[in-house]
A and B are shown apart, each in its own frame.
Chain A
Amino acid sequence: MQESQGQHMQPLQMQAQAQSPDQQISSSATGAATYPSAPGTGTDKMSTAASQQDAAGSSGPGPVPIPAPDVAESYEQQHVHSVYESIAPHFSATRHKPWPVVASFLSSLAPGSVGLDVGCGNGKYLAVNPAIHILGSDRSAQLVRIARDHGGERRADVAVADGLALPFRNGRADFAVCIAVLHHLSTKERRVGGVRALLDAVRDDGGKILVFVWALEQRSSRRGWDEGSDQDQLVPWVMKTNKTKPKPKSEVEGQGEGDGDGDTTYQRYYHLYKKGELEEDVVAAGGRVLDSGYDRDNWWVVGSRGEQASITS
């Protein structure tokens, strides 16, 4: 589940042209993915009209109360997982350019490194560095299928898994990246748990994690959120569909609501991180912050396990 780079990462002019999801992405012989046009022009935008229509409702766009701990999981099922299942091919077609901070992190790893991409989405990072082995995982089976074909000749290794119940042996990975994922977890406890799962997976002697999350402070973005805005929001994903051709089944399932205009709007839950909050969560999870920064409306941290490896040899 990768998201949040919306306004920067939608360079494709996607004219409606219905294609089956399987045809959306094809790998060329060199391993570089090519992206044919997607079936609609999707944007994640704040829909003012919808806000007014549904100002009091909890399923319209805008601020939302934090769900109670016992329903957080089912809330995320509705407002994160089922949305990505529905929008996967369309979403993937707008997410193809690796972010420079992530690409340079992956490129800096020692050859032969083995690590994880938790919430790998469409797998755009899986083939960035051919000298390392990455195991990708995501909650969305649809996105995982797209990611599998992203590795070029060395078909990428991917699995369907929950970020809070990862199937990885503790302390074995050289690295774990988690890009634009943790902001979809709806309680503090679950977000810290997500960081802890990454820390558990990496080696205690030099294993590193890289986490990216959406920032609250993004005054210059078209959403205009900033310090003081509500941190928990439903953000619409609008999928324009081609009226001349029937909608693929995947676009009409899930919680999407047609607006009578051929468009389908999905509401995704986000927790927007305040400055310093991601670092706090890493420390709360027992980790150490090695580096951190702000990039394209996102906060990021490079961290490691908190316990320093003993310096004995």
Chain B
Amino acid sequence: MKILSLNFLTCAVKACKSSSDSYPLHPKDAELVQDEIEVNAQLLVNLLPRLDWTALSTTATELGFPALPPQPPSAEDLQADDKTLRDLHNLLMETQIMEGKLVCGNCGHEYAVREGIANFLLPSHLV
């Protein structure tokens, strides 16, 4: 599960979707791996406006990454600054949660992640 994907995921419980506490899901006991993937600057520039930067900052901090700047970099920043580009690429594309849990801050449900695959099927009492 890439950190990029986590930026688009929330709790599967219907009642949680309208609560701001359900997003982003909080990694717990997360085991990370780093895949080496070639940097695609254009892809990252195009992804920028699609990200929820506040949620990404929360996730990065929770996973032990250095704090992100309060504002997202601009496309020009990314093209001009190789380090910013690489750091963002590393966080979004190369970092994977392989094992652990994703926890909803609203209902408290914990979704298991095993071998990189999160399971969002709900127990019957939460459907």
Residues on A facing B (Cβ under 8 Å): 110-114, 131, 133, 135, 137, 139, 141, 144-145, 148, 153-155, 157-162, 165-170, 172-174
Contacts and interface: CB of A to CB of B under 8 A. Distances in A.
A172 B120 contact: no
B121 A148 contact: no
A159 B45 contact: no
A19 to B, nearest CB: 20
Nearest to B43: A112
Contacts of A154: 35, 37, 93
Contacts, number: 96
Given A157-B2, A158-B117, A169-B9, A111 B42 contact: yes
A135 B40 CA distance: 18
Nearest to A165: B12
B58 to A, nearest CB: 14
B117 A160 contact: yes
Interface of B: 1-2, 4-5, 8-14, 17, 23, 35, 37-38, 40, 42-47, 50, 52, 93, 96, 111, 115-122, 127
Contact of B121 (A112, A161, A172, A173): A161
B120 A165 contact: yes
Contacts of B111: 167
25 contacts: A111-B43, A113-B50, A114-B47, A137-B120, A145-B115, A145-B117, A153-B37, A154-B35, A155-B35, A159-B5, A159-B119, A160-B120, A161-B120, A162-B12, A162-B122, A165-B12, A165-B120, A165-B122, A167-B12, A168-B8, A169-B10, A169-B23, A169-B52, A172-B52, A174-B50
Given A154-B35, A165-B13, 6 more contacts: A137-B120, A144-B117, A157-B5, A160-B117, A161-B12, A165-B14
